[in-house]
Amino acid sequence: MSKTKASSPAGRRWALGVIAAAQFMVIMDTSIIGVALPKMQADLGFSPEGLSWVFNAYVVAFGGLLLLGGRLSDLFGARNVFNAGWAVLLVGSIVAGAAGTAGWELTGRAVQGAGAALIAPAALSLLMMLFGSEPKELTKALALYGAAAPAGGTAGVFLGGVITEYLSWPWVFYLNVPIALVILAVTPALMPAGGARRGSIDIGGALTVTVGLALAVYGIVRAPETGWDSASTLLTLGAAVVLLGIFVAIQARRREPLMRLGIFRAPNLAAANVAQLLLGAAWIPMWFFLNLYLQQVLGYTAFPSGAALLPMTIVIMLGMIALAPRLIARFGPKAMTVTGLAVLAVGMAWMAFIRPDGNFWVDVLPASIVAALGMSMAFIPSLGIAISAARPEEGGLASGIVNTSYQVGSALGLAAITALATSQGAGALDDLPQLTDGFSAAFVGAAVIAAAGAVLAGFTLRGAPSAHRQVQPADSTA
């Protein structure tokens, strides 16, 4: 570390700030476009169906490329891939902001998603290199990293509204440009280089898993629109299954695979990834439909709706930073993962009692705070277990796998819960009681997913005195 500041306590704090900022930005880029969508539709000529792909193009590229991003981080060094991801995100942001047609807009969003897929696993690898040798410090670092996600989601709602109203919608993308330039400038001085090592890129594996995951996410997010039993959905998901099957066969035969299948024999890795998948599948639909309830039933506009989510966001951030590390140290990561998922299920079940003539203080605030406490207790220990279970030289791969699990879980959960809510009346905008019933069904479905996660984690996670392996930071000389 002689050529970086990462070896000093102050340098590590600054590095952690940059890593948290990366998580903040990656999540903010999914929510900042929400308020801007109507003006983008008017300016670029999107159809109502096509407009959703301003969001989905980012998610599909992000989810599909995460495993490749993790492997590249292991091969070429986490710092190099982190920088490359920011460069790609910068280019995608410029393309999306300058787009004059719907096609260019979707291209820019897909490039942004590809950049995020490089940034996310590399950021977690850098965090492990900086703090992995000190379990207590690692838990605190993971808490700040985890808290950056809900902060980014809420900030995106506010910033998107402010920028769209007082500037213009392209600036929701141009905002990334100065931030990317600053991070690219400071990263060489703050971050360890990472354990770059010799090895080949499994081209066949990379293509099959990337296209397979992209098709899976694509099919899932389109299914509520086209129908789960439609020919296009079945063909898309069938092709995804075939490609992912080919990927597994390639990995079993290759000497240097993209994803060593034996990694899942590491104690707790598979179980922790299932917990993260179900956590995403429960949390994202709850957040999505709570937003709709606030706007479509209670009549909130975008800014009050964002403000109504602030208490939940603050609870999550405080819970992850101040509460979760203490509870993990006291009770262990398995107990906290199970308890957190169970509390999340209780909060969502409580939220299912929303009323068409309800109000924020009775119908939203208490249940959302309980759900937020559950999320803050479950996210950090399950994430820590997942990235700690792998060998040090496979930190990037483990980070890519856990990010993929959460993103695919989010897409799958949102699609399935949307189908459930629609079948129960969530599309009846002119009938508030029926509309509320649909949203209530969504919260019940999310509660069932969280409860299933708690049960599975209880049976599959192994108890351990610490969630984190002792890792010596990789050589970080430039």
For every residue of 292-339, DSSP letters joined together read HIIIIIS---HHHHHHHTHHHHHHHHHIIIIIHHHHHHHH-HHHHHHH
pLDDT < 70 positions in the chain: 1-7, 34-35, 37-38, 48-52, 154, 157, 161, 165, 194-200, 302-303, 306, 392-396, 463-478
Helices (H), 167-230: 171-174, 176-190, 203-226
CA dihedral 40, 42, 44, 49 (to 10 degrees): 80
| CB-CB contact of 375 with 279 (8 Å) | yes
Residues composing the chain: 478
The pLDDT assigned to 50 comes to 67
> Cα angle at 208 between 205 and 213, to 5 degrees?
120
Burial (Cβ within 10 Å: 0-12, 13-18, ≥19) of residue 89: buried
Site of tokens 């308020």? 35
In three-state secondary structure terms, 201 is: coil
Rounded Cα distance between 453 and 276, Å, is 9
Q: Nearest Cα to 322, choosing from 166, 139, 71?
A: 139
How is domain 263-478 classified at the CATH fold level? Growth Hormone; Chain: A; (1.20.1250)
- The backbone region for 207, taken as left when phi is positive above 0, alpha when psi lies in -120 to 50, beta otherwise, is alpha
| CB-CB contact of 170 with 105 (8 Å) | no
Q: Nearest Cα to 446, choosing from 368, 358, 355?
A: 368
> Cα angle at 272 between 388 and 403, to 5 degrees?
80
The pLDDT assigned to 8 comes to 73
Site of tokens 């034996």? 262
Rounded Cα distance between 269 and 274, Å, is 9
The pLDDT assigned to 219 comes to 82
What is the assigned CATH class of domain 1-201?
mainly alpha
Q: What percent of the chain has pLDDT over 90?
A: 31
Q: Nearest Cα to 293, choosing from 360, 362, 369?
A: 360
Q: Nearest Cα to 372, choosing from 282, 440, 436, 299?
A: 282
The pLDDT assigned to 134 comes to 79
Rounded Cα distance between 136 and 6, Å, is 18
The pLDDT assigned to 472 comes to 38
What is the amino acid identity at position 383? L
3-state helix, strand, coil split of the chain in percent (to 5) is 80, 0, 20
Residues contacting 262, CB < 8 A, separation 6+: none
> Cα angle at 83 between 67 and 9, to 5 degrees?
105
DSSP designation for 167: S
Please tell me the pTM assigned to this model: 0.78
